[in-house]
Structures are given as C-alpha cells and as structure tokens.
Amino acid sequence: MKKPELDPKRVMPLLETRYISVSDLGYEGLKHYYSVSRRGSAIAALCSDEEFRSMLPDAVTCIVIVRVPECADGTAADNGRRVPKLLLTKEFRYPVGQFLLSPPAGLMDPSDKGEPVPQLATARREIKEETGLELKSTDRIFVVNPLAFSSPGMTDESNSIVCAVADIEDESVFNSDGEEGAELIGDYTLYSRSDALRILRQGRDDEGIFYSVYTWVALMYFVSGLWEEEL
C-alpha cells in the first residue's frame, strides 16, 4: 500500500519546549494529524526511509536480571548455585500521580550516540543511576530490541529494550543515590519467575496499581527464558 505523502511545508509546530514538541502533520487527504515528540523539529515523520531505518531511540528501557546465591528453600548459601530474579523499582510517574512498578529506564544522552553501541552506553548509565548496580566485565548486557515505538498513534517517542544479567551477592548494592532532576524512586523488589507470572496474570502490582507496557515487556521477557539464550 502506498504511503500518504507528507508535505514538510504543512508541518506546523504548535508547541515547542525544551523537553517536548507538538506538531500538526500535513498529510495529503487529512486536515490535521497531531504528533507529540521529544525530537523537536527533527520529528520521525520527516525522516527519509534511510534515515528512519538508521535512527536511534529517544530512550532505553532496561530489563535487569540479577543472579543471587540461594538454596532451594530460599535461604542464602555458599554452594555456587544462583537463582535469577527480575529487578523492578517503584518510580513515581507524574502523569498518573502514582508510584508504578517499573524497569530502570532513561533518555539517551547526546554523548551516548558516539559510542559503538549507543543503547548499551545509555543502559549502563541508567542502571547505575537508578539502582546503584554497576555492571562488571563478567556481567552480560545486550540489545533485545533496537527501537520500539511507545504509542505511534500519538507520538514518535521510542525506546530501545536492553537486557543486563548480573551476579550479585545481596541486595545491599541497590540504592537511588544517582537520582537526577524530577526522578523519584521508591522500593526495589526482586521477582522470582513465579512472582513475575503472578504480576503478569494480575495485570497490577501487589498493591493493585496498574503498570506500563514496558514493565509488561520486562516481565514477559524474564519469564519466557529468552534471555538465557544470550548467555
């Protein structure tokens, strides 16, 4: 099917701020189609096909899986056995006015774009800032999805999905000392596979609060075991 043509001269900025812009897109056959973007005037709709295929995401969402020493009964042990758990936080999300169960995530800095794999540079920084966990050379980090759109019916905002698998000895490594700006991070929780399945089936956290689609993605990727194929 032929794509509708977009006339760049008919792209009308309606709101431009430091963090977000709103534009009226002038597609043929449509009087108005609005787009919310973090990209300022460089909105995705104006990209050529080549530019679109090579563009970088606005942000990175991190699926953080930690492997902790543990016995079958759940007690800590020095027997070499490690059990994987998914790390999720409670982060205050201002548009909904609630602490939502969330994976670590953050915007890609301009300096990240010069790195060999920009998504991984962003992920390492955001994991350290939001959880206190500094990945070691023996830990594994990889891109699950280079760029996924959040809600392309109203915004061109996008996230890359990155997974990190790290061995830790206990939960004392976690802290929110790296919070920046308006970030407000509450509790840290490690979820076993059975815990994650429960949260998936509920569609809410254990306090009855809904969560974002990126939390759903993290839960699904963890319980699926797909991450183990990358180790």
Per-residue model confidence (pLDDT) at position 223: 98
Q: What angle do CA 164, 225, 151 make, to 5 degrees?
A: 70
Written as six digits, the tokens of 221 are 């990727």
pTM of structure: 0.93
Q: What angle do CA 196, 64, 184 make, to 5 degrees?
A: 90
Per-residue pLDDT tens listing for the chain (231 residues): 888 999 999 999 999 998 899 999 999 888 889 999 999 888 999 999 999 999 999 999 999 999 999 765 555 555 668 999 999 999 999 999 999 999 999 999 999 999 999 999 999 999 999 999 999 999 999 999 999 999 999 999 999 999 999 999 998 999 988 878 788 998 899 999 999 999 999 999 999 999 999 999 999 999 999 999 998
Looking at this protein, which amino acid is placed at residue 131?
T
Measured distance CA(164)–CA(143) in Å, rounded: 9
Judged by DSSP in three states, 183 sits in coil
Measured distance CA(46)–CA(92) in Å, rounded: 33
Per-residue model confidence (pLDDT) at position 181: 79
Q: Cα separations (Å) of 153 from 27, 33, 162?
A: 14, 9, 24
Q: Using only the alpha carbons of the chain, give its radius of gyration.
A: 20
| Segment holding 215, helix H or strand E | helix 213-224
Domains and CATH numbers, the chain: 1-41 (no CATH), 59-230 (3.90.79.10)
Judged by DSSP in three states, 86 sits in strand
Measured distance CA(193)–CA(155) in Å, rounded: 33
